[in-house]
């Protein structure tokens, strides 16, 4: 009787290597996670999600609710280097800001920074009480004008002013002249395009 040939099944995990994911230089190049892959090429394009609190080690000022998504663009050795992909506020935090008989004013603004990065910015404004449609339009106009006025900033500077609260603060000061405002946030920033050539900025968003 012939013996049946036994085929050894190779454990896929034994062929994988762990790669350390690093934040961009302007976020301090801190470690933001690890990912396994059998080839460095398979790591490129992957995304990793973290919070501003984890990056800078500071859980104050809503930092735990500020979610930042990075995308891997290159690998060297066991290090995977990332770039900014998206910023967003966590849904549970935004839901906590909603009140009855008040207004929530949202907008979508596309802006190109001085160094050629195309971003989609989504501000949200919460009023003390419910306001009129005309007041909503006026507040939305002020918010849009303030965001677009920042086109003179480079990519890193713009991210810094959005994420750390400078632009929301300016919108608050302008919008409260129209109607009492309770809270202003930048709820989402998406990277739509980036310059083909040019040096990466080395400024730090937060530290």
Map 60-129 to HEC letters.
Answer: CCCHHHEEEEEEEEEEECCEEEEEEEEEEECHHHHHHCCCCCCCEEECCEEEECCCCCEEEEEEEEEECC
Residue ranges making up the domain that contains 51: 16-89
Same domain, 106 and 79: no
Same domain, 77 and 147: no
Same domain, 172 and 105: yes
Instruction: Please tell me the distance from the alpha carbon of residue 189 to that of residue 146, in angstroms, as a whole number.
Output: 15
Same domain, 131 and 47: no
What CATH number is associated with residue 172? 3.30.479.30
Per-position pLDDT tens, the chain of length 207: 444 444 455 556 567 899 999 999 999 999 999 999 999 999 999 999 999 999 999 999 899 999 999 999 999 999 999 999 999 999 999 999 999 999 999 999 999 999 999 999 999 999 999 999 999 999 999 999 999 999 999 999 999 999 999 999 999 999 999 999 999 999 999 999 999 865 444 455 654
The answer to whether position 5 is within a domain reads no
Rg (CA), the chain: 22
Predicted TM-score (pTM) of this structure = 0.87
pLDDT of residue 196: 82
The count of structural domains within the chain is: 2
Same domain, 84 and 105: no
pLDDT of residue 12: 60
Last residue of a domain, one of 89, 105, 132: 89
Instruction: Please tell me the distance from the alpha carbon of residue 194 to that of residue 46, in angstroms, as a whole number.
Output: 18
Last residue of a domain, one of 89, 114, 138: 89
> Please, what's the b/e burial string for 64-101 (b: 16 or more CB within 10 A of its CB; e: otherwise)?
ebbbbbbebeebeeeebbbbbbbbbbeeeebeeeeeee
Output the CA–CA distances (angstroms, integers) from residue 83 to 3, 30, 102, 176, in the order listed: 55, 12, 38, 36
pLDDT of residue 14: 63
């Amino acid at each position: 009787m012939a013996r049946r040939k036994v085929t050894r099944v190779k454990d896929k995990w034994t062929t994988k290597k762990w790669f350390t994911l690093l934040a961009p230089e302007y976020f301090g190049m801190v470690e933001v996670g690890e990912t396994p892959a059998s080839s460095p090429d398979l790591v490129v394009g992957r995304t990793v999600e973290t919070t501003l609190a984890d990056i800078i080690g500071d859980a104050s000022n809503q930092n735990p609710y500020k979610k930042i998504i990075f995308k891997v663009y290159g690998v060297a050795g066991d290090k995977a280097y990332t770039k900014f992909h998206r910023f967003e506020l966590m849904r549970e935090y935004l839901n906590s800001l909603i009140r009855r008989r008040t207004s929530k004013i949202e907008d979508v603004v596309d802006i190109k920074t001085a160094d050629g990065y195309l971003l989609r910015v989504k501000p949200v404004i919460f009023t003390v009480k419910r306001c009129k449609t005309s007041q909503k339009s006026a507040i939305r106009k002020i918010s849009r004008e303030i965001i677009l006025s920042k086109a003179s900033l480079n990519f890193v500077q713009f991210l810094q002013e959005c994420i750390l609260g400078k632009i929301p603060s300016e919108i608050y000061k302008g919008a409260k002249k129209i109607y009492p405002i309770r809270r202003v946030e930048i709820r989402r920033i998406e990277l739509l395009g980036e310059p083909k050539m040019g040096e990466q900025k080395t400024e730090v968003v937060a530290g």
